[in-house]
Structure 1
Amino acid sequence: MSEQNLQWDHPTPFISDIEVTAEHIDHYGHVNNCEYIRWLEVVAWAHSDALGLTLERYRELDRGMVVHRHEVDYLAPAYLGERLQIATWIERCDGKLTLERRFQLQRVTDGVTLMRAHTRFICVQLSTGKAKRMPAEYASGYGAVALESVF
Structure 2
Amino acid sequence: MWDLPNPFVFELTVQPDAIDHYGHVNNAEYLRYIEQVSWKHSNHLGLTLADYQRLDRAMVVVRHEIDYLAPAFEGETLQIATWIVGFDQRFTLTRRFQLLRPADGKTLMRGRTHFACVALSTSKPRRLPEEFVTVYLPALIREKDVVQG
- TM-score relative to the length of structure 2: 0.94
Aligned to 2:112: 118
Q: Which amino acid aligns with 1:10?
A: L
Aligned to 1:74: 68
Work out whether 1:133 is the aligned partner of 2:123.
no
Q: Provide the rounded CA distance (Å) in 2 between the counterparts of 1:132 and 1:148.
A: 24
Query: 5+ unaligned residues in a row in structure 1: which ranges?
Result: 1-6
Correspondence for 2:88 among 79, 91, 94: 94
**SS of 1:17 mapped into structure 2:** strand
Q: Provide the rounded CA distance (Å) in 2 between the counterparts of 1:128 and 1:21.
A: 36
Aligned to 1:30: 24
Query: 5+ unaligned residues in a row in structure 2: which ranges?
Result: 144-149
Contact 1:94 1:139 in 2 (8 A): no
Q: Provide the rounded CA distance (Å) in 1 between the counterparts of 2:94 and 2:121.
A: 23
Q: Provide the rounded CA distance (Å) in 1 between the counterparts of 2:75 and 2:130.
A: 42
Tell me the alpha carbon deviations over residues 59-108 of structure 1, each in whole angstroms, 9 at most, x when there is no partner: 00001101000000000000111110000000021100000000000001
**SS of 2:104 mapped into structure 1:** coil
Per-residue deviation, 1:148: 2.3
**SS of 2:62 mapped into structure 1:** strand
Q: Provide the rounded CA distance (Å) in 1 between the counterparts of 2:86 and 2:112.
A: 11
Q: Which amino acid aligns with 1:66?
A: V
Q: Provide the rounded CA distance (Å) in 1 between the counterparts of 2:48 and 2:118.
A: 15
Moved over 4 A (4+): none
Q: Provide the rounded CA distance (Å) in 2 between the counterparts of 1:22 and 1:59.
A: 33
